[in-house]
Structure 1
């Protein structure tokens, strides 16, 4: 596979495609919006690469799949859903100013998708390359995971176009992550006339929050963080129901098992209260070993490029857990993911597109192993 001996990726063309995608808002779970977004992603791919993409229907919305033909060798992985509700664009429109691109989803992760497509467009031969852009990454990838795993195993190498880490570093490892909901059932009673007749679910929830927080092991990278709690109906009623939501991050499969077992073992402190739990560590950890070969290739291509492990999860967690070489953080360089100050650094778009093309060409040439030590 060779690179075209023409001008590098055109930033004006990338901005044109990025504006198109950003201005079609795509909040997770909004099936109408996601259909429009998937159509737009497929149109951009076809326009720039010359081959039609396929929409794969799911309960979460359409996923976009594209193949350059030939024996599968590398999967370009991303998502087109965003965390921003409809109407965000009106308040925070697409804008290019002072060397930055802003607008909902530019960093996470529409900018990465555009850079990936324009990078592939630099290649004379795209055989063996697949693109998969899913519709539900921001809400757990429950309806895309099987497809992601299928195509990752078929291809044998995965490049994930989530936003880069600080300073443009690639993401070489990720924590496993999940969420739990603890449901507490008590018994209602009048808070003034007969408080003792009730079973106070809020007090039980307070006990459970302290128990749950104790599951954390920050010394080995495990964080267990109660994040949202609710209880009660009126200020003069002993609450009969309470819920506690918990965010979990782990660095190893062993910690995943330990934390899940700890949640399963929660028991009530107050007589008459009941405790039930639902949830799991849905995204397994992405160990740094999974990215070692691909990171070595990236360092050979771009001396000095950095890699780092991060706490957030992505669909790369799934592919790495299968043992498929996976390198993440190849998307936009910028910051502010999921926030109003989200931005993409304009002068990095063309170099990142070039890196896409170089990495894909190197993978196609194979084998991945370079003999260089991993870090």
Structure 2
């Protein structure tokens, strides 16, 4: 096994201690004070392990942390420190290391990955050309950091995303996502005395749910899923308003555009009903063309490190890697912790994989700094 793996395995107790400190700094996305407190822990960790303090970038009271070493234009390491877990979750799910597993709220998604990132950089002699960007709003769709992520990616030759990995496979493709909200307007009437005078928005909503569901194309990997629905006020009143939320996942930009045009082309079925759609494409797809060169580089290094074969997988979930691929920068995702249970009670990290994946990140960064190509030029989403 490679010397770098041996070094990182020897440093595993320190890596585990750092993960514990970060997991204990609870940071639900909606709690700005907690996110800021966690950012201070991250800043201290990064400063200690790299010798450089970060730049604080304030996004409406929600900090992001950026490090640039030298030019900072060769490789960007990307991650987030916010979680879906509310403050107080540590009481039910304390940070623990037992039976080869590490547990605690946000450990897998993705606080272990943040720590791995800095430990990978700590074993490299020269960081000139490296940038690091860590945000505090990824779990809620990056409302304040999206432009920052995209701008940083545009000036960088390659992006490595330290999101977690279920079963050890790297994320070589991610679906793009769109979100819509439909408002249906009708006319109220008494359901017993004169229902015919009403325009029933529940009935109209049923028609639209079927029409929206028909826009899916399983063969193309396109899903269109009606999710949250509401209509009516009382049992004996023809409802005059209804609301529907729709989740769309697509493998290609062309499919994202097709669905968007089709959604806005829908028309009401009932006379007197009207439809208003809001929303649209949120994250572009991360196609295999964006990750192919980096994945081959990673697979070669993984074998050289004596760690065996490395798998890639396409997934439906989105990350900030979708944004970096969307601006044309080669992007490889899923380089963080190996484990499972993201956002769930069984969230965990496989301890033995921590130094192995950290070594892979270190080797990838070093290789890209030495001029290894990430892809044949920019990529097209």
Fold-level similarity (TM above 0.5): yes
> In structure 1, what is the equivalent of residue 197 of structure 2?
197
- For residues 177 and 143 of structure 2, the distance between their equivalents in structure 1, rounded to whole angstroms, comes to 14
Q: Deviations over 1:222-256 (max 9, x none)?
A: 01011111112222222221111111110111101
C-alpha contact 1:60 1:135 (8 A) present in aligned 2: no
The residue that corresponds to 2:355 in the other structure is: 350
Q: Which residue of 2 aligns with 1:133?
A: 134
Once the two structures are TM-superposed, the CA of residue 121 in structure 1 deviates from its matched residue by 0.7
> Where does 1:315-326 land on structure 2 (aligned, <5 Å)?
315-326=320-331
- Aligned-partner Cα distance in 2 for 1:133–1:333: 19
Verify: 1:218 aligned to 2:218, yes or no: yes
The question of 1:36 aligning with 2:13 is answered no
* TM-score normalized with structure 1 length: 0.94
Equivalent residue, structure 1, for 2:346: 341
1:10-49 correspondence runs (5 A): 10-49=11-50
> 1:361 matched to which residue of 2?
366
1:284-312 Cα distance to aligned partner (Å, 9 max, x none)? 01110111111111111112111111111
- Structure 1 residue 173: Cα displacement: 0.8
Structure 1 spans left out of the alignment, 5+ residues: none
User: Which residue of structure 2 aligns with residue 241 of structure 1?
Assistant: 241
Deviation at 1:128, TM superposition (A): 1.2
Give the distance between the partners of 1:269 and 1:90, measured in 2 at CA. 51
1:79 matched to 2:84: no
Measure how far apart 1:71 and its partner are.
4.6
SS of structure 1 residue aligned to 2:59: coil
Alpha-carbon spacing, 1:200–1:321, altered in 2? closer, same or farther (3 Å): same
Contact map agreement 1:187 1:200 (CA 8 A) in 2: yes
8 Å CA contact retained: 1:4, 1:124: no
Q: Deviations over 1:166-216 (max 9, x none)?
A: 420111111111211111112222222322222211111111100000000
Distance 2:358 2:5 in 1: 13
Show the 5 A alignment for 1:51-62.
51-59=52-60, 61-62=62-63
Q: Which whole-Å CA distance do the structure 2 matches of 1:254 and 1:7 have between them? A: 43
Once residues 245 and 70 of structure 1 are traced to their aligned partners in structure 2, the CA distance between those partners, rounded to angstroms, is 44
* SS state at 1:66 partner: strand
Q: Which moved more, 1:196-205 or 1:206-215?
A: 196-205
Asked if the contact 1:188/1:199 (under 8 Å) is kept, the reply is: yes
- Matched residue of 1:203: which SS? helix
Q: Distance in 2 between matches of 1:73 and 1:130?
A: 8
Q: Work out the number of aligned pairs and report it.
A: 369
Deviation at 1:24, TM superposition (A): 1.7
Q: CA deviation at 1:23?
A: 1.4
Tell me the equivalent position of 1:92.
93
Structure 1: distance between partners of 2:293 and 2:187: 57
- 5 Å-filtered alignment, 1:102-181, equals 102-164=103-165, 166-181=166-181
Q: Against the structure 1 CA distance between its residues 290 and 158, is the aligned structure 2 distance closer, same or farther, given a 3 Å change threshold?
A: same
- Asked if 2 retains the 8 angstrom alpha-carbon contact of 1:176 and 1:286, the reply is yes
CA displacement 1:240-273 (0-9 Å, x = unmatched) = 2111111111011110110000111121111111
SS of 1:37's equivalent?
helix
Taking the TM superposition and a 5 Å limit, the aligned residue runs for 1:253-292 are: 253-292=253-292
Residue 7 of structure 1: CA displacement?
5.6
Q: Which stretch of structure 1 is more off in the superposition, 30-39 or 217-226?
A: 30-39
CA distance in 2, matches of 1:5, 1:309: 31
TM-score, reference length from structure 2: 0.92
Where do 5+ consecutive residues of structure 2 fail to align?
A: 304-308, 377-381
